[in-house]
Amino acid sequence: MHVPSPRRRRPDLLRLRAALPGHVRAVVDEYERYLSLERGLSPHTARAYVGDVVSLLDHVVHGRIPPRGDGAYEQPARRRAPHQPKPHQPTSDQCVDEAQNPRAAGGQHGLDGGVAGLDLATLRSWLAAQRAAGASRATLARRAAAARTFTAWAAHSGHLPADPGLRLAAPAVRRGLPPVLRAEQADELMRAAEAGAEQANPVALRDQAVVELLYATGVRVAELCGLDIDDIDYSNRVVRVSGKGGRERAVPFGVPAERAVRRWLSEGRSALVKPASPAALFLGARGGRLDPRTARRVVHQAVAAVPGAADIGPHGLRHSAATHLLEGGADLRSVQELLGHATLATTQLYTHVTVERLKAIHDRTHPRA
């Protein structure tokens, strides 16, 4: 029997959005414009935020429980829940009970108040339903953050009298160490990419330049795909990057990356460019701007040629670049600036990677370990 893929069984957020009352859809539209125009978020990030808000408001208006593991929505069970106090952080029993009966949580489900029916109890029941359905701590933390962003904007914009998200707690995410390449594996990866480009195939030349520039600069894959030809400053050997929130930064790169990019531009790009092609630094096979999904596939395929290397994508190369910079003596502030992190706390994750490596080396080599 054919079983549809999880992607096909995901809830249709466009359908859920269309099913919201008109005045609620208008608020969602206004919020989407705010994320794109005022916050300057990328289209992908804005879609993720709006998708979480649509799920939340569907929960508010229709009282539906957010998706189970198979992506289907459920109507709330109609049973009376026992009275319980409302702590800042719901208990496990409360999570299950609120997931089965969100109306008992004190929210305004089913009322035409829409956004005005959004309160702390409703936010908790929305998250509790997802927790009972098996959502990970990371997913709950991300959706709680999306809800807090929305309620803060709604309160500031006058759609809510106060911000209920200020008191919304979410489970702490246990951040694991990201997989990274060892320095010798990164070197082998670059040699493999160079060997693939020896026949001067345009796509292979592009792929080599993509891998080299990602590792040399540590830029995000979306930032790489958003580069234009004139964003490269060869005289100073830096690339001008437009990062999250529209923040711009200049990131240096080395001679090998410069050589790969120059060769791609002189020998490869002209074979893919079309009359309607943009001024993008990297092009796809059909002449359009390189898609991030294609860049991810390029990296995964290149890394697969390195024996013993972890299966990483562009973000893994970013992790690797940051780790190797710190191992080479770079300070955290410099790495923060290069990576475009808004806060130093994000960059500090990489110190955990280097410490774990030092501990492993110590355990392996020190006679008294």
* CA dihedral (279, 280, 284, 285) positive or negative: positive
Give yes or no for residue 256 having a pLDDT over 90.
yes
What confidence tier does 11 reach under pLDDT thresholds 50, 70, 90? low
CA 332 to chain centre: 22
Query: Domains plus CATH for the chain?
Result: 13-167 (no CATH), 183-314 (1.10.443.10)
pLDDT tens readout for residues 281-326: 999 999 999 999 999 999 999 999 999 999 999 989 988 988 888 8
The model's pLDDT over 202-246, given as tens digits with 9 standing for 90+, comes to 999 999 999 999 999 999 999 999 999 999 999 999 999 987 767
Is the pLDDT confidence value at 87 over 60? Answer: no
Q: Is the pTM of this model over 0.75?
A: no
Percent of the chain with pLDDT over 70: 75
> For residue 128, what is the enclosing H or E element?
helix 120-132
**Residue 57 and residue 41: Cα distance in Å, rounded?**
21
In contact, 178 and 185? CB cutoff 8 Å: no
Q: Which positions are catalytic?
A: 220, 244, 315, 318, 341, 350
116-175 residue pLDDT tens = 878 999 999 899 888 888 888 888 888 999 999 999 999 999 999 999 999 998 777 666
Amino acid residing at 358: L
Give dist(CA 185, CA 207) in Å, integer: 18
Question: Do residues 211 and 259 touch, judged by C-beta distance below 8 A?
Answer: no
Q: Has residue 40 got a pLDDT over 50?
A: yes
